[in-house]
Structure 1
Amino acid sequence: MLALFTLRKGLLGRALAFAALVAFTSPILAADDDRAAYDKAITSAVNFLTAQQNEDGSFSDAAPIGVTGLCAAGILEHGRTADDPVVKKALTFLESNIKEDGGIYGEGSNHKNYETSLSVLAFAAANKDGRYDKLLAGTDKFLKGIQWDASEEKEESDPFYGGAGYGGHKRPDLSNTAFMMEALKATGTGPDDEAMKKALIFVSRCQNLESEHNTSEFPAKNPDGGFYYTIAAGGSSQAGETPNGGLRSYASMTYAGLKSMIYAGLDKDDERVKAAVAWLGKHYTLDENPGMGQQGLFYFYVTCAKALDALGDEEFVTADGTKHPWRAELRAELLGRQQKDGSWVNETTRWMEGNPQLVTGYTLLAIKYAQPTAAK
């Protein structure tokens, strides 16, 4: 679809672009910078979620706490406030799940980190007047408490050190760690905080880059600068292994790694950032999650959007020297994928992306970074 948009020179290019949008059956058939089209898409998405909200304020029967936090955060990022009836109902549901340890999760949950971190994004966005300061202080304490460090008898040399897992005593991974760092950043935690410093140690070890920050066996087997799922418990990549036992890099984790390193204070001159950007420059596309195809596509979109925004460049330069106006390209891709009912959903359903509430929440967060130029 993006390739068609780059052909918009003359009547033929415009006709092809129009035909591509029609093929995706999107209700949005406007130019990239059409603010009205963007606003229409957002309104349609929020209306979809409003219609899907349960009586108790949740947005999904499956994984209701995490999905509700995600959807509420997405709605709040597009102009609603904590006093909006839909948002207020969702936040009340989340508050009903606060535990004594400060976390926000369901009884017996195996996803305490995800649920708490996504809830934090909602409460932080709703906290303009400080009404949730005490609540967020509790979530900060909880999230820092589940990070693997000396309190779990892990020394800095241990591959577990600095990472976050699902919230029990399972091994940490880059996805959970990135969500934890995102939540901590949302409440004002900066790079000088010990939790961020520890997390950076773990994140750096999940990169296929040999350096003083990663002396594990894996980078030498696949020295491409990208990121994989986890260094812990023997190492693992959702994209699989190379023939020699290396861990394959893939885009969603590489964007997660890039974003997390920037949140932890690294700049563009750091070798780790350079290597991540170089890998992404060789694999830039919005048609798929490179390395994983259509799996985790919308997780990929929101991670990509946040990472490139954090990087700070309005154009992303790929390995062949092409300058991509990534915000406009991402906007075109997401608008083209919107369903007629206002939702987004992934036909490849792994990681719950067959759930339209979850995916619409992801997309509302991603598309915030892809607003028409005049809106920023």
Structure 2
Amino acid sequence: MPAKISKNIFPSIMLILILIFTSCEVKFGVNTDSVLPYISRVDIPLKIYLNAQAPQLITVYANDPQGRSDIKSIEYEVFTSNEDKSIGKGTCYDTGDNGDIVHGDGKYTAVLDPGIFSGVPGEYYIYFTAFDKEENKCPVFSDTLNVVNEVQNLAPQIVSVTVQDTVSAEQADSLLVRVKVWDPQGTADVCSVYCALYIPQTTEPEKVFTLQKEALPNDSVFTGVIDLKSNSAGPGIYSLRFTAKDSCGLESWPLVKSIYFNTENHAPVLSELIAPDSLSRSDSTPFTLKITVNDEEGLRDVTKVWFTVKRPDGTEIDNIFDMYDNGESGDETAGDGIFSLAVTISSQNDTGVYEFTFKAKDRSGLESEPLVHNITVVE
């Protein structure tokens, strides 16, 4: 016989349900792996000198799935060896100052003040946290600081750089640079000098040149020839970033020179289009359109290659179809100047003549002459 349920139990059940649903807030989960900023690497000097005579820099490499612009700050905090006391905290910068070199390159730099150690050598812990603009933060990134009471080996310094500030097309493959370096430990301690070439609107070097020391006694002058022509992206302002390194691996503060590459700019040129003359709309097999692009200022000067399509009735398809030279999207070989795109048609396409118009654009906005090709779609 079924048990008899008292009528008084229903108000109790209702009360419990009301308490459950009014005492909590329903939240949809967020995949934090895809939204959190993250720290991929930290560069810390092997030794932190208590009596440092030069800035001691810490560099944090950070990024964000939404882009580096979404990173609000990189904070650090230093603790004693037993981790029971915080002795200092600060911010790492990617602003091109406060010890940072290139603004917006994802390398966040802090100048560490040895005064926070109160003259006590030993091992300390340092913790880094990245915050985005919505105050999301990454898991803490930790490392150790080896603080010593020793005489610091000082890094070399670049005293001067001699290079012309305007370069013509005729001079582009033989730009002479001359760098004078000083080292507190003596000129023999300087082992190498480098020149990193940055083309316009980039934060990564296009090429790094090694300079050679002049064969003069007690002289620390390094010279080299920079080839702008083969590493060109057209006319504009280029940056030369000079760095010296000593026998202990310490690097100088970089010295940056800006030069203007003054050359006549040329629009890209399209040639050698590979495309069918006709297609059957009943065949959905992908086909690849290929076109060769040349630019007198080099392929790096080409920023966009695309085509547009007109239907048989003369109306234009809204989409602009970008073509690629990256080894993907139907392209076979990256960087060979052949831009490609894999395309398919279907039974939804009207029969008739479709007009394909191909164009390319360079960094200065110059566009190529259009190349037009007709493809007839049949049953």
Normalised-by-shorter TM-score class? under 0.3
Larger Rg: 2
TM-score, normalised to structure 2, is: 0.22
Q: Which one has a larger percent strand, Structure 1 or Structure 2?
A: 2
